[in-house]
Amino acid sequence: MRTKTHLLALNGIVGGTYAALTLMASALNLAYGPVQFRFSEALTILPFLFPGTAPGLVLGCFAANLLSPYGPLDVVIGTLATLLAALVTQWTDRPWLALLSPVVFNGLLVGGMIAWYEVGFTGTFLPVFALNALWVAVGEAVVVFLLGGLLLKKTPKNGYLRQYIPEKRVK
């Protein structure tokens, strides 16, 4: 059984880990831009396994996006994408949707943000948006399906962590 203190500590760990992993990806020039491989995005499946961890993801993303080259726009749009993905992931009972929602929300919202940043709402916005949405979604899918899928599969097998995962989510 989780207490409010336990959930608060868990969200702090999730948020700090998300921010640290994003900064690590940033040091490798993989965290921002049309092609992103944020290792931290693997954590977006955590609300599926541990309902109530969405705030930690959102705060970690907010903190990481404070260093984004896209400025306040990424702080708002990128954090919104993480919030929406985390809520869908937390509310679903389907593992495939837990993996897919971050890909879709980041592809559309972050892809749109990058397109607007590059060309504004000009006549070339739609093709630039389509290309950016595709590349952001591809990078997101690689990380979420590989690393996040691994977390989704292995975490319930950990004897200690399993006690905190709702029974309907353990297979």
Judged against a pLDDT cut of 80, whether residue 170 lies above it is answered with no
Measured between alpha carbons, how far is 17 from 19 in angstroms, rounded to an integer? 5
End-to-end C-alpha distance for the chain, whole angstroms: 19
Task: Name the DSSP letter for residue 32.
Answer: S
- Count Cβ atoms within 10 A of the Cβ of residue 67 and give its class: 0-12 exposed, 13-18 middle, 19 or more buried: middle
pTM above 0.85, yes or no: yes
Q: For the segment 99-114, what is each residue's pLDDT rounded down to a tens digit?
A: 999 999 999 999 999 9
Query: In the prediction, which pLDDT does 171 show?
Result: 65
The closest alpha carbon to 103, from 133, 77, 125, 131, belongs to 133
Judged against a pLDDT cut of 90, whether residue 1 lies above it is answered with no
Report, as an integer, the average pLDDT of 132-155: 95
Q: Domains of the chain by range and CATH? A: 4-169 (1.10.1760)
Report, as an integer, the average pLDDT of 127-145: 97
Judged against a pLDDT cut of 80, whether residue 169 lies above it is answered with no
Mean pLDDT of the chain, nearest integer: 93
Report, as an integer, the average pLDDT of 93-98: 92
Distances (CA, A) of 121 to 32, 74, 129, 162: 21, 17, 10, 48
- Count Cβ atoms within 10 A of the Cβ of residue 151 and give its class: 0-12 exposed, 13-18 middle, 19 or more buried: middle
Judged against a pLDDT cut of 70, whether residue 69 lies above it is answered with yes
